[in-house]
């Protein structure tokens, strides 16, 4: 999970795992879609054995659901799941930010500011998504807690499987940009409590926006993460 570039070249199951995971997270593979072993094996030019190992890893990540004798299906993300993952974002990221702020160097702050500027200059909605991710991860990186950061990253990507497009459309770019700038200022001034407060409100707002968006027009969401009508995913 940490060193994808090297790992991708390492073993076949790893390569398949990384590729499939990315395709699930970016929505290329929608929730509910069955993953046929033979088909994947053919696509990657390997046999079914490494495919099965990759699928098991995806299952452990909760990105794929196994049904007995019926193979693997891309797991669906319900609205409740997405809201809960944002809840988890609050838990993990607020703590990480609290740990990070006292350790931020000038270099760290400059890096964060650069991401912020790029965000302000970006026009494409996919750039917003990427830069939003970069901004948040850059905030927490100074904490130097590899496990916590890995958890944050996994949960962030998973949360945004469902929420990316909707939230971006619902809230636009300006409000998060303002909030990011405020957050950055609080970090720079070392005001931990204020920064954590802002971050919580920032994520909580996207929870509300997501709930509101889905309630208004839930049709779209099925396309993104498959949104299981009944059971909530994995």
Q: Enumerate binding residues for DNA (CB under 7 A).
A: 11-13, 34-38, 41, 45-50, 52-53, 66, 68-72
Backbone conformation region of residue 27, classed left if phi is above 0, alpha if psi is from -120 to 50, else beta:
left
Structure tokens at 128: 């917003």
CA angle 29, 30, 36 (to 5 degrees): 60
**Should residue 26 be labelled a site residue for its own copies when binding is judged by CB under 8 A?**
no
* 88 touches, from its own copies, DNA, none (C-beta below 5 to 8 Å by class): its own copies
By CB under 8 A, tell whether 19 contacts its own copies.
Answer: no
Shortest distance, position 152 Cβ to its own copies, whole Å: 9
Residue 137 · residue 92 · CB < 8 Å: no
In order of 141, 149, 151, 152, the CA distances from 145 in angstroms are 8, 6, 10, 11
For residues 184 and 116, is the Cβ–Cβ distance under 8 A? yes
23 binds, among its own copies, DNA, none (CB under 5 to 8 A by kind): none
Is 59 a binding residue for its own copies by CB under 8 A? The answer is yes
94 binds, among its own copies, DNA, none (CB under 5 to 8 A by kind): its own copies
Q: Which of residues 77-96 bind its own copies (CB under 8 A)?
A: 81, 84-85, 87-88, 90-92, 94-96
State how far the alpha carbon of 176 is from the alpha carbons of 29, 120, 192, 196, 225, in Å.
28, 10, 19, 15, 23
CA distance linking residue 106 with residue 232, whole number of Å: 43
CA distance 208 to 43: 40
Report in angstroms how near the CB of residue 203 gets to DNA at its nearest.
37
Residue 190 binding partner per list DNA, its own copies, none, with a CB distance cut-off of 5 to 8 Å that depends on partner kind: none
Cβ closest to its own copies, residue 56 vs residue 188: 56
Q: Residue 86 Cβ, how far from its own copies at the closest point, in Å?
A: 11
| Smallest separation, CB 199 to DNA (Å) | 41
Residues 234 and 216: their CA atoms lie apart, in Å, by 26
Query: Closest distance between its own copies and the C-beta of residue 141, in Å?
Result: 15
Query: Which range touches its own copies (CB under 8 A), out of 51-59, 186-194, 204-212, 222-230?
Result: 51-59
Continuous H helices in the chain: 4-10, 12-25, 37-44, 48-61, 79-100, 106-121, 125-140, 146-171, 174-188, 192-216, 221-225
Q: CB 4 → DNA: shortest distance, Å?
A: 16
Nearer to its own copies, 56 or 130 (CB): 56
Question: Given the rule CB under 8 A, which residues bind its own copies?
Answer: 10-11, 13, 49, 52-54, 56-61, 66, 68, 81, 84-85, 87-88, 90-92, 94-96, 99, 145-148, 151, 232
């Amino acid at each position: 999970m940490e060193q994808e570039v090297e790992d991708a070249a390492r073993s076949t199951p790893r390569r398949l795992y990384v590729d499939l995971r990315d395709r699930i997270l970016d929505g290329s593979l929608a929730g509910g879609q069955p993953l046929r072993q033979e088909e994947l094996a053919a696509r990657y030019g390997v046999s079914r054995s490494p495919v099965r190992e990759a699928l098991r890893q995806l299952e452990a990540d909760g990105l794929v659901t196994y049904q007995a004798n019926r193979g693997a299906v891309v797991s669906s993300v319900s609205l409740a799941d997405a809201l809960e993952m944002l809840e988890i974002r609050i838990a993990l990221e607020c703590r990480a930010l609290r740990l990070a702020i006292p350790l931020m160097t000038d270099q760290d702050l400059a890096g964060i500011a650069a991401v912020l500027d790029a965000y302000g200059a970006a026009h494409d909605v996919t750039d917003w998504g990427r830069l939003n991710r970069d901004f948040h991860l850059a905030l927490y990186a100074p904490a130097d807690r590899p496990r916590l950061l890995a958890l944050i990253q996994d949960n962030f990507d998973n949360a945004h499987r469902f929420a990316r497009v909707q939230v971006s459309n619902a809230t636009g770019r300006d409000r998060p940009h303002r909030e990011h700038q405020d957050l950055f200022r609080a970090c720079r001034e070392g005001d931990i409590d204020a920064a954590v407060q802002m971050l919580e409100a920032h994520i909580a707002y996207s929870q509300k926006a997501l709930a509101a968006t889905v309630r208004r027009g839930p049709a779209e969401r099925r396309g993104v993460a498959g949104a299981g009508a009944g059971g909530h995913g994995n």
